[in-house]
């Protein structure tokens, strides 16, 4: 069985692709369809060409409860341009990216599209991972099993308030990497990271061997 694209990318980053060095990953987030579908398509190719290691592609959703004003506005603009789950997958396919693509979305759009259909068509479009922002680990074992049996990695979110017991349960069945939320609240630009972020990272690393993506982003 061939190595999963996300695991292969992390291995290359840890080994520096033969250079003997390791570095952090650059993982930009783009709302699909913002500011327009055509520019959004070009943006995917531009960030990949500029050195992104992975790309997170956000699916526009009418109730982005975890996101602040910036992503809310980009999401609404994309919806106004007629972006749908199908059009997001089409755009990823057209982009023809050679780096792993993670779809970040809420559960509702995936269920409305059809879970198995989404997993099948997303994989065909070039998606390698799925991050469901409002889906707690263990909330639906059958759904998790379906994603786990697909070609897409099921990426877990870990919050600053996650207890030790909850953390152990949350990382069970996770794949690809862990998405570590660096602070409480919705997404949004900040001029500093939490003072205890390093301790938070160390606590999660001690629980799971997966790589970490710390959500420290101006979004």
Separation in Å, CA 191 to CA 39, 58, 147 = 28, 23, 36
122-129 mean pLDDT: 97
207 near 171, Cβ under 8 Å?
yes
Nearest CA to 126 among 101, 103, 104, 151?
A: 101
Residue with the two structure tokens 């629980």:
207
Q: Which is nearest to 175 in space by CA: 212, 139, 204, 210?
A: 210
pLDDT over 70 at 192, yes or no? no
Q: Mind telling me the catalytic residues?
A: 56, 67
The residue that leads in pLDDT, 97 or 203, is: 97
Residue, of 206 and 55, whose pLDDT is higher: 55
pLDDT at 98: 94
Highest mean pLDDT among 13-27, 55-69, 94-108, 160-174: 94-108
Can you give the residue ranges of every domain in the chain?
A: 5-215
pLDDT at residue 65 tops 80: no
Spatial separation of the C-alpha atoms in residues 94 and 60, rounded to whole Å: 18
Residue 108, pLDDT above cutoff 80 = yes
Q: Please check the confidence at residue 219 and state whether its pLDDT lies above 50.
A: no
Closest by alpha carbon to 183, among 204, 152, 158?
Answer: 158
For residue 88, is pLDDT > 90?
yes
Q: What is the pLDDT of residue 126?
A: 97
Q: What is the pLDDT of residue 70?
A: 85
H helices, E strands: number in the chain: 9, 7
Determine the Cα–Cα distance for residues 148 and 135; give it in Å rounded to an integer: 14
> Does residue 184 surpass a pLDDT of 90?
no
DSSP state of 51: T
pTM: 0.84
Report the C-alpha gap between 211 and 199 in whole angstroms. 16
Residue 49 tokens read as: 């060409």
Q: Which residue has the tokens 């259909």?
A: 117
Closest alpha carbon to 68 in 215, 195, 201: 215
The domain 5-215 is placed in CATH, from the list 3.20.20.70, 3.40.309.10, 2.40.10.10, 3.40.50.1820, at: 3.20.20.70
Q: Give 216's pLDDT tier (boundaries 50, 70, 90).
A: very low
Least confident of 12-16, 35-39, 70-74: 12-16
Q: Are 40 and 34 in contact (CB under 8 A)?
A: yes
Q: Using 50, 70 and 90 to split pLDDT, how confident is the model at 182?
A: low
Q: Is 132 strand, coil or helix?
A: strand
């Amino acid at each position: 069985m061939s190595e999963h694209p996300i695991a292969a990318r992390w291995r290359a980053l840890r080994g520096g692709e033969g250079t003997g060095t390791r570095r952090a990953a650059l993982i930009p987030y783009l709302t699909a369809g913002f500011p327009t579908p055509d520019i959004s398509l070009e943006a995917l190719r531009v960030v990949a060409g500029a050195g992104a290691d992975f790309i997170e592609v956000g699916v526009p959703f009418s109730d982005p409860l975890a996101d602040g004003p910036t992503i809310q506005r980009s999401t609404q603009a994309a919806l106004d341009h007629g972006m749908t789950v199908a059009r997001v997958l089409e755009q990823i396919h057209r982009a023809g990216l050679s780096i792993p693509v993670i779809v970040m979305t809420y559960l509702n759009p995936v269920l409305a599209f059809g879970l198995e259909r989404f997993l099948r068509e997303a994989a065909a479009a070039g998606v390698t991972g799925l991050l469901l922002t409002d889906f707690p680990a263990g909330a639906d074992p059958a759904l998790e099993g379906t994603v786990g049996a697909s070609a897409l990695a099921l990426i877990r979110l870990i919050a600053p308030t996650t207890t030790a017991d909850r953390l152990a349960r949350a990382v069970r069945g996770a794949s690809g990497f862990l998405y570590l939320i660096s602070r409480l609240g919705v997404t949004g630009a900040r001029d500093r990271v939490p003072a205890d972020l390093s301790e938070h990272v160390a606590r999660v690393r001690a629980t799971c061997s997966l790589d970490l993506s710390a959500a420290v982003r101006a979004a």
